[in-house]
Amino acid sequence: MKLLVGYTADERGAEAIELASALVAGTKDAFVQIAIVLPAAAPFTAVYPGGDHGYETILSAQVDRWAAEALALVPEGIGASVAARSVPSIAEGLIELGEEFQAHGIVLGGRKRHLGGFFMPGAIANALLHSSPLPVFMTSPASLDNLREAGGQITRLTAFVGDRPGAREIISLAARLADARDVKLRVANFVAHADVSTGPAGIDDHVRGIREYLDDLVKELGIEAIIEVIASGSIDTAINKLSWQPGDLALLGSARLAAHRRLFIGPKAHRILGHLNVPMGVVPHLPSTR
């Protein structure tokens, strides 16, 4: 597995490398491609480590130091190199590099804390969440604490799904990732009371119907998964009822209006992102198989 890390020479960059290393550890051909992307006003291109880069641009000593520091953060047993490049747009540059290096996803560190106390994506992450053709993985200080409690190992994958078309594709993808890492899979769905057209009296039946729907999907796919359907007065309170264990990884899908194989995060997923204190990944819109 190969992941592209959007690296900055600070704590956020170190967090991104730590998450990427945990995600690829134990997978076939584990590799972390670190990207140092700078505004086009500072033109240069380089790959570290390497020999003759085949260009005449003089690299700054600072970029050399950043590359060395980044490579030193990657644990033994995981391949790594650093690509340094000037780009007009950081988000677009990361997408281009991700596709160029055939990465399976892009990893960013350091989600911002909103004034309300929730973690929200920063500007670059937000741009990727509305355009990337590759999955985007994110972390925060609190989510890394959760990962470190498990010794830096992913121990379970939780796929968030709705009750409409698209759930099957996300569950299938999550199952493949869980199987590749030999960890358990959990499928979670949130129900806000206001979303139940029959009112409070129909909530239990609504929850039962979603559970049966997800049970059937899991059986059709021939996989094992724990299913949790949580109902509450609001999505926010429902999210907070979900329990977590050290080493959890959350996976969310894109909104149905997303272009084919492109990310576009919907309002419900955005709320989920804000509450999570575990590492997370958002995957592009997948083609329906039914």
pLDDT at residue 46 in the model = 57
Q: How far is CA 13 from CA 194, 252, 259, 287, in A?
A: 40, 23, 30, 33
DSSP states along 103-160:
-S-EEE--PEEPTTS-EE--HHHHHHTTT-SS-EEE--HHHHHHHHHTTT---EEEEE
Q: Which amino acid is at 107?
A: V
How much is the average pLDDT of 78-85? 92
How much is the average pLDDT of 37-62? 57
Q: Rounded to whole angstroms, how far apart are CA atoms 41 and 62?
A: 16
Q: Is 171 within 8 Å of 217 (Cβ atoms)?
A: yes
The partner residues of 81 in beta bridges, in order of sequence, read: 33
Burial of 234-247, coded b for 16+ CB within 10 Å and e otherwise, reads: ebeebbeebeeeeb
Mean pLDDT of the chain: 82
DSSP for residue 207: H
**Segment holding 3, helix H or strand E:** strand 2-6
Phi and psi torsions of 263, nearest 5°: -80, 145
Per-residue pLDDT reduced to its tens digit, 196-240: 777 677 888 888 999 999 999 999 999 999 999 998 888 888 888
The partner residues of 281 in beta bridges, in order of sequence, read: 137, 251
pLDDT at residue 256 in the model = 47
- CA-nearest of 165, 176, 163 to 225 is 176
Per-residue pLDDT reduced to its tens digit, 105-163: 999 987 655 544 445 567 787 788 777 889 999 988 788 999 999 999 999 999 998 76
Phi and psi torsions of 153, nearest 5°: -110, 135
- CA-nearest of 269, 263, 260, 259 to 287 is 260
Q: Is 279 within 8 Å of 246 (Cβ atoms)?
A: no
Q: Is 252 within 8 Å of 272 (Cβ atoms)?
A: yes
The partner residues of 36 in beta bridges, in order of sequence, read: 84
Q: What angle do CA 224, 163, 135 make, to 5 degrees?
A: 70
- DSSP 3-state percent helix, strand, coil across the chain (nearest 5): 35, 25, 40
Q: Rounded to whole angstroms, how far apart are CA atoms 169 and 162?
A: 11
| Stronger pLDDT, 265 or 155, i.e. the higher one | 155
What's this model's pTM, rounded to 2 decimal places? 0.84
- CA-nearest of 276, 272, 290 to 248 is 276
How much is the average pLDDT of 23-47? 80
Q: Rounded to whole angstroms, how far apart are CA atoms 137 and 162?
A: 20
Answer whether residue 6 shows pLDDT above 70: yes
Tokens 């979603």 belong to 210
